[in-house]
Amino acid sequence: VNCSIYLDHNATSPPTASHLKTLFELLKNPLGNPSSPHLLGREASVALSKARATLAQALQVPLFEIIFVSGASEANNLATAGVLLASDLPVSQQHAIVSPLEHPSVRAPLDFLRTHHNLSLSTLPLSPTGILNFEDLLTHLTPNTTLVAIMAANNEIGTLQPVQKWGDFFHYLRWNQLQNPEDQSCFDDWKQKLQQHQNFSTQYFRKLHFHVDAVQSFGKIKTERWLSPGLDSFSVSGHKLGALPGIGVLVLRRGRIFSPTIRGGAQEKNKRAGTENLPGILSFHLVAQQLLQQHWWDNTAHMDALRKDFFQKLQTLPHLVLHSPFEQALPNTLSFSLEHPVFTAEDLLVELDLKGICASSGSACSSGSKLPSQVLLALLEHSGRSFEQIKHLAANSVRFSLSHSNTAQELHRVFECLQEFL
Ligand code: PLP
C-alpha cells in the first residue's frame, strides 16, 4: 500500500523531492575529506565551514559551539553521560535531575550510570497539564546536583516546557544578568525559595550543567522563543526537519566539557572523532538555510492553523481523549488515546495504514513494543483515573505529526476515516 498521507514527521520527516534534487546537484561534484590538504579536501572543508556558519546562525550560537554528530541520540548521550563522566567528582557522588518526558537517549545513559556507577537520579513530577513546575525543580536540587536535563518540546504530545525561563534563571544566578527585566520579581522570589531550601552559591550554579533536548522545538518554534544563555548544551537532529538521517548537532557552550565517546581523530576540535558526514551536513545546511527565511515561519503558522482546526474536529468525535494542548504546543503535533469498548489504537492505526495514512502510536521508538507510553503514564497520573484506566489509555495512543507539506484536504480525509472507524 502506498503511503499517500504521511503524518509521522516527529518520527522522521522524509526529504522532499526538491531537497533531494538540490542535494544531488551538490553531491555531483566529488567531495574530498575535509581534513585532506589537497584541492578536493579544501573544498570539502569550505563546505563544512559554510554549513557550520549557517547552522550557528539558525541556532543563534557562535560557530565554535557547534559539534556535528550522528544525530540527537548521540548528542544526548554526550550531554548526559559524557558530561557526568567528565566531572572531577566520581559519578557515585553526583546527582542528576530529568523530566519524565525525556527521550530514551537522555534517560537510558543516566539509567545506565545509576545501575552501574551509583548515580543518584531524580525524575520530576508532571503537572496535569503536562508542564513542569519550577518549585519541583527547586525541591529536587541538592548540593550534589551536577546535571539537569529537560526537553524543550515533547515528541509525543507536543507540550512545551519552560526551558528558556529556567535557563534565564540559571544565567541570572550565575552572572546576575537578566534577559528579560520583567522576570526580576519572579526570579528574586525563586532565589529566595532556593536559599530557604539550601544555601546555594553562585559558584554552585556555575558548575551545574543544564542540558536541553531541542530536537522537536528546533525549526518548529522560533529559536528565540526557547533559547537562553543559561542552556549549557542542547541537541538537534536533521532528519526531523527534512534533512537526511544520520546528522545532528550538539551545541556545547564555551567552558563546558564532556568526555567524548568516539576518540581517535581531531575532527570537531577533538570532541568527536571520525570523518565528517558531509552529505548529511550539506543536507542539514539546506534545511538551516530555509529556517532563516520568513517563508518557512509563514508555512509553520499555516501548519499550526491546520493543527488547530483538526484539533477542534477531533473534539467532536466520541471515544477520544486528547492529550496535546491546543495552545502552547508544537505547531504540528496531535496526540490522543482511544477509549473504545472494542477497538484498540493498534486497530485504528492498521485501518489508517490500509488507507495509505501513516501515523504512529505514541513515540515511534516504543511502537511495536506494546509498552504503555511512559510520557502518557506521567501525564495522566493526576487525572483522577484509576491506574488500570491510565495504563489502558497510555497503551492506546495515536500521534499525528505534520509538516509544511500536509494540506487541509489531507486532514479532512483523515478525519473522514476516523469518523468511519469510530
Ligand atoms: N530526542 C527527541 C525528542 C526525539 O524525538 C528524537 C527522535 O526520535 C531523538 C531525541 C533522537 O534523535 P535521532 O534520531 O537524531 O537520534
With a 6 A CB cut-off, is 13 part of the ligand 1 pocket?
A: no
Give me the residues paired with residue 8 across strands: 401
Q: Which of 254-268, 293-307, 356-370 has the lowest mean pLDDT?
A: 356-370
CA 249 – ligand 1 centroid, Å: 12
Set of cell numbers at residue 299: 508555512
- 191 HSE (CA, 13 A, CB side): 17
Bridge-based pairing state of the strands 209-213 and 145-151: parallel
pLDDT above 70 coverage of the chain, percent:
97
- Cα distance between the two ends of the chain: 22
Q: Mean pLDDT over residues 346-352, rounded? A: 96
Q: Is 419 left (phi over 0), alpha (psi -120 to 50) or beta?
A: alpha
SS (H, E, C) 69-92: ECCHHHHHHHHHHHHHHCCCCCHH
CA 235 – ligand 1 centroid, Å: 9
Residue with CA at minimum distance from ligand 1 atom 16: 73
Q: Mean pLDDT over residues 195-216, rounded? A: 89
Model confidence band, residue 198 (pLDDT cutoffs 50, 70, 90): confident
Q: For residue 202, which phi and psi values (nearest 5 degrees)? A: -55, -40
Determine the pLDDT at residue 2: 64
Set of cell numbers at residue 294: 520568513
Q: Is 282 left (phi over 0), alpha (psi -120 to 50) or beta?
A: alpha
CA 347 – ligand 1 centroid, Å: 26
Taking only Cα atoms into account, the Rg of the chain, rounded to an integer number of angstroms, comes to 22
CA 331 – ligand 1 centroid, Å: 18
Closest alpha carbon to 215 in 398, 73, 366, 64: 73
Distance CA 364, CA 237 (A): 15
83-126: pLDDT as tens digits: 999 999 999 999 999 999 999 999 999 999 999 999 999 999 99
User: 260 to each of 78, 250, 271, how far by Cα in Å?
Assistant: 7, 12, 6
Model confidence band, residue 129 (pLDDT cutoffs 50, 70, 90): confident
CA 301 – ligand 1 centroid, Å: 23
Predicted confidence (pLDDT) at residue 241 exceeds the cutoff of 50: yes
Set of cell numbers at residue 345: 489504537
Determine the pLDDT at residue 196: 84
Distance CA 166, CA 288 (A): 26
Residues 418 and 317 sit within 8 Å (Cβ to Cβ): yes
Helix, strand, or coil here: 421?
Answer: helix
With a 6 A CB cut-off, is 155 part of the ligand 1 pocket?
A: yes
Distance CA 35, CA 18 (A): 30
Bridge-based pairing state of the strands 357-358 and 248-252: unpaired
With a 6 A CB cut-off, is 71 part of the ligand 1 pocket?
A: yes
Closest alpha carbon to 363 in 4, 149, 104, 97: 104
Determine the pLDDT at residue 195: 86
With a 6 A CB cut-off, is 103 part of the ligand 1 pocket?
A: yes
Burial class (CB in 10 A: 0-12, 13-18, 19+), 30: exposed
Helix, strand, or coil here: 319?
Answer: coil
